[in-house]
């Protein structure tokens, strides 16, 4: 199954994709995580991406499309994948459709996680992530048992450099202008499903399961 998780910054795409990936045994492909990994590697591409990301702007389409083409062409993607944070512009969505159509494939479902805009700033400025395993936490909504340390692996927590208030405001503006038009794009293709992201993370996951026709209540 080829699934896209759509939604504004802080909607819970990464949180839900982590859970879905374990339940559906599909790779979680986050362009944001991939770019942060390149940034950490000291490669020139990482420096280039960092300049855009820290300002809350989108990285150019050609860079992102090269990364995605390579990633979805790998053997672990044969049965499908979960795309988180991609596509984010109309040219990216069109290029993805063309890439898939070349192999007689298509996106099965686009899950649009909706959260009122006024909640997103708090979600993002309170977010912390594990440096080691990537688990996502929130200072108020999903705190760790020991402050500063990951419950899953004991790794140290960090705050993303683009989760400061100024970058978040810019990211939300960029979302409205460049990414929100994808809702109409996928509605036209009849692949779009709306998900209420303004409920506890576990409840969001159950709603995703219902929409995908899977009963996770008993798990
Ligand atoms: P990316 O890393 O994709 O960031 P984003 O889209 O801005 O989304 P976030 O990761 O901030 O939010 P999320 O929806 O994953 O929420 P999360 O689950 O963490 O991209 C970063 C940058 O990379 C971009 O700005 C751009 O520069 C570049 N980039 C990436 N992809 C690109 C592309 N395709 N094209 C061009 N540039 C690209 O949750 C957020 C917080 O809320 C957490 O603390 C979590 O614990 C909490 N939370 C989650 N769910 C709930 C809930 N139900 N209730 C309460 N709290 C919750
Ligand atoms: Mg994310």
Q: Is 127 a catalytic residue?
A: yes
Q: Helices in the chain by DSSP H: which ranges?
A: 13-24, 31-41, 44-54, 61-72, 90-101, 117-125, 165-174, 181-188, 201-211
To test the ligand 1 pocket, which listed residue (7, 85, 116) has its Cβ within 8 A of the most ligand atoms? Answer: 85
Q: Which of 44-48, 127-131, 195-199 has the lowest mean pLDDT?
A: 44-48
From the list 50, 88, 123, 128, the catalytic residue is 88
pLDDT at 136 over 80: yes
Q: Cα of 32 to ligand 2 centre, how many Å?
A: 7
Percent of the chain with pLDDT over 70: 99
Q: Determine whether the shortest distance from the Cβ of 127 to ligand 1 is under 6 A.
A: yes
Q: Cα of 2 to ligand 1 centre, how many Å?
A: 20
CA proximity to 123, closest of 173, 82, 160, 176? 160
Q: Is 22 a catalytic residue?
A: no
Mean pLDDT of the 96-109 span: 97
Predicted pLDDT of residue 214:
87
Residue 126: other Cβ atoms inside 10 A: 17
Q: Is 171 a catalytic residue?
A: yes
């Amino acid at each position: 199954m080829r699934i896209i998780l759509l939604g504004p910054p802080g909607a819970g795409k990464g949180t839900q994709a982590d859970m879905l990936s374990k339940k559906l045994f599909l790779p979680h492909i986050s362009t944001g995580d991939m770019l942060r990994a390149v940034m950490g590697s000291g490669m020139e591409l990482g420096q280039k991406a960092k300049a855009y990301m820290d300002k809350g702007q989108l990285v150019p389409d050609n860079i992102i499309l090269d990364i995605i083409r390579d990633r979805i062409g790998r053997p672990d993607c044969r049965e499908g994948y979960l795309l988180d944070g991609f596509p984010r512009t109309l040219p990216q969505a069109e290029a993805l459709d063309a890439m898939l159509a070349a192999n007689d494939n298509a996106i099965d479902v686009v899950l649009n996680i909706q959260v009122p805009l006024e909640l997103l700033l708090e979600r993002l400025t309170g977010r912390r992530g594990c440096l080691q395993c990537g688990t996502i936490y929130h200072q108020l909504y999903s705190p760790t048992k020991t402050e500063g340390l990951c419950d899953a692996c004991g790794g140290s927590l960090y705050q993303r450099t683009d989760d400061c208030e100024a970058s978040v405001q810019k990211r939300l503006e960029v979302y409205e202008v460049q990414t929100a038009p994808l809702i109409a794009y996928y509605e036209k293709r009849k692949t779009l499903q709306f998900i209420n992201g303004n409920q506890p993370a576990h409840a969001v996951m159950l709603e995703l399961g219902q929409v995908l026709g899977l009963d996770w209540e008993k798990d």
